[in-house]
Structure 1
Amino acid sequence: MFSEITSGVFSVNHGTVDGKNGIIIGSRGAVAIDSGLHPEEGRMMAEFIGAHHHPPEYLIFTHGHSDHIFGSAAFQGAEVFSHLSTPTVIAKQIATWTKRTGIAAAQLRSSVTHPTVTFVDNMRLNLGDKHLRLFWTPGHSCDSTCVYVEEDRILFAGDTVVTGIVPALWDGDSREMEHSLRTLALMDIDVLVPGHGPLLRGAATVREWLTWLVDYLVAIRESVSMSLKDGYDPESAVNAASFQEFAAGRLPENKHNMIRRHRDTVRNIFEEELQRTQPQPILSATYARVAPLGDHVRFS
């Protein structure tokens, strides 16, 4: 379950679609990155941190989706870092799971350790001999965050980057994801820990995969744009953009419901492009920008 990438930096497997969490242990403290879907997954992470002589008092959420937050009960009372939008995403996830499972919202809410420190664009955590940069990478979700271990050039990408499945947009946006992926491709990354799938090692390997993800999104967008021009309905557009054409040879079609996932991504991009062809309202809401927190958070 725990794999040491380099001294003090661990990837942590969890059971949702070959999921990956993380733990970074520094001279001043230890931080968990995501907690999985099930309480026992988060509990094992907290115990692992304790076995390395640190209390489980710091947690980062890469975003607020269920398979990243619902294992967090073992971190109750911890300082939890996330993007400013993550509390809202968590609230929506709780409402969704209440409808799906019948579990009371209050019970689900109390089982999640909620963010206590949020940021807008980026923030930095000082663990002593490890420095982490958290930065906003929207696309998979509006609150998606990546965590970069500066000394080791290791990126924990959350679901901004996946290597075992096609990119998932869900409540996100493909153009924002494309921009985030292009930004990551400009970074010095020696090891990339995805939200789901195997680790990538070597700067060239990382950059090549990020480039392919961008190409995949762009190619699907071009396909659905042509379908819209030809008057296709959503299902016809999805059928016209087959998995075999866009992802065969990159990902196994018989694993993790891959064909369905690909079709969902095509469908989401179709809806995005359809919305862009609709007349826009004259008036739109104006959103205030909240100033980010200070650059450094130092652990005592």
Structure 2
Amino acid sequence: MTLQQVSAHVHVETAHLGSNNSIIAGADGVALVDTPHKPTDAIAWRTVVDGFGRTRFVVNTDHHPDHTIGNFWMAGEVVSHRGTRDRLLNEAPDHDYLARLFDRIDPEAVPLLAGYRVRVPEVVFSDRLDLHLGDVHLELSFQPGHTANSLIAFLPEDGVVFTGDIVCEAGLPSFQDSRLWDWFDAIEKVASYDFSVLVPGHGEVADRAVLDRYREWGREVVGQVAAAIGRGEDSDQAAAEIRFADNIHVDTEDYVGYPDDLIEMFQRRSVARIYDDLVERPDLATR
């Protein structure tokens, strides 16, 4: 592990496959932001987390598996937007999907599936919720962007904002659960916070400069899709031709990534989502 302290109360692990995982240690316990994707990482992470004190809260920034699978192995109450609970109750990956995925990304975890269950949030909110840990508090705000149920977490005492996949330093995540107008609005919402440290959904801990880079990455792929629409291509044509760099799900020197067919599915669904949103709102091409 490469745990790094980014402020007086916050430690972040950016080396896990899947989302970044954060520890907020207050005088009255610990809050976590997102949990490891690989079960073997989650089990090891629990040992690290317990060294900081009693876990009171586990915050999920959205419902995607790379943010929520590790819930099962964590202590404390799981907290999210109410839409995340609904998605995990009704649309969580089934056993066969997880068995196939773990066989590639975490073979040692395949036997663990026999006892695994999706752990849904016990505490949910609609617009805003504050979690208090004695000397610090975490402000949770509903902010659709990467998904319809994404949230932003902010630790004002340290000036640290946790964006989930609303902002990623590593590159663009999937757009398949996004609406394009929300995607851009969410970046502006993050920019409105008074922060000095940004913990993204994927990639290295950053500062404000990451917002401009991330926004431009999005504009680039949106421009490609807008050009395809201008040429008269349909959604299937655009989805077959247009690709953006995936630095989130692919193999790296440190871990094995997703199967190629899943990565291809994410790309096609992302481009199709952008295409449909641009047909509905052509003005977004110049956002």
TM-score range, shorter chain: 0.7 to 0.9
Deviations 1:195-246 (A, max 9, x none): 1111114xxxx2x321232233344334423422431123543577565xxx
Q: CA deviation at 1:132?
A: 0.9
Give the whole-Å Cα distance in 1 for the aligned partners of 2:74 and 2:268.
36
What is the Cα deviation at residue 126 of structure 1? Answer: 1.5
Corresponding residue for residue 90 of structure 1? 88
> Are the equivalent residues in 1 in contact too, given 2:22–2:34 (CA < 8 A)?
yes
CA contact (8 A) 1:33 1:60 kept: yes
Q: 1:151 to 1:67 in 2, by over 3 A?
A: same
Unaligned runs of 5+ in 1: 278-300
- Give 1:214's aligned residue: 215
Q: Deviations over 1:88-123 (max 9, x none)?
A: 2213442x33352469xxx78953332111111211
Distance 2:138 2:172 in 1: 27
- Residue-by-residue CA offset, 1:113-164 (whole Å, 9 max, x unaligned): 3211111121111112112111122121111112111111111111111111
Q: Structure 1 vs Structure 2: percent identity of aligned residues?
A: 25
Q: How many residues align?
A: 260
Measure the CA separation in 1 of the matches of 2:212 and 2:127.
23
> Who is 1:45 aligned against?
45
1:169 aligned to 2:168? no
- Matched ranges for 1:1-300 at <5 A: 1=1, 2-17=3-18, 19-52=19-52, 54-75=53-74, 78-94=76-92, 96-101=93-98, 111-201=117-207, 206=208, 208-234=209-235, 236-237=237-238, 243=244, 265-274=270-279
2:176 and 2:89 map into 1 onto residues whose CA distance is 16
Other structure's SS at 2:278 match? helix
TM-score (structure 1 length as normaliser): 0.74
Q: Normalising by structure 2, what TM-score?
A: 0.77
Letter in 1 for 2:89: A
Counterpart contact for 1:32–1:45, Cα < 8 Å = no
AA partner of residue 3 (structure 1): Q
| Deviation at residue 13 of structure 1 after TM alignment | 3.2
Contact 1:167/1:265 (<8 A) preserved: no
Distance in 2, Cα, partners of 1:211 & 1:26: 32
Partner residue, 2:108: none
Cα separation, 2, equivalents of 1:101 and 1:220: 30
Distance in 1 between the 2:270 and 2:195 partners? Answer: 26
Query: Secondary structure of 1:85's match?
Result: helix
Q: Is the 8 A contact 1:40 1:71 kept in 2?
A: no
Aligned-partner Cα distance in 2 for 1:100–1:71: 16
Kept after mapping to 1: 8 A contact 2:80/2:125 = yes
| CA deviation profile, 1:254-277 (whole Å, cap 9, x unmatched) | 967999676664343113334569
State the SS of the aligned residue for 1:160: coil
> Which amino acid letter does the alignment assign opposite residue 28 of structure 1?
D
Q: 1:101 to 1:212 in 2, by over 3 A?
A: closer
1:44-91 superposed Cα distances (whole Å, 9 cap, x missing partner)? 333223223x22332111111111111122225x21110010112213
Shift of the 179–109 alpha-carbon distance from structure 1 to 2, 3 Å rule, reads: farther
Change (3 A) 1:240 1:65: closer
Q: Which is higher, the Rg of structure 1 or of structure 2?
A: 1
Give 5+ residue unaligned stretches, structure 2.
Answer: 101-112, 283-287
The Cα shift of 1:42 comes to 2.8
Residues 11, 21 of structure 1: 8 Å contact kept: yes
Distance 1:276 1:240 in 2: 22
Instruction: Pick closer, same or farther for the CA change 1:8–1:173 going to 2, 3 Å.
Output: same
Aligned 8 A contact 2:17 2:38 in 1: no
Partner of 2:176, secondary structure, is: coil
Pick closer, same or farther for the CA change 1:13–1:217 going to 2, 3 Å. closer
Change (3 A) 1:84 1:254: closer
8 Å CA contact 2:14, 2:202 repeated in 1: no
Q: Which residue of 2 aligns with 1:290?
A: none
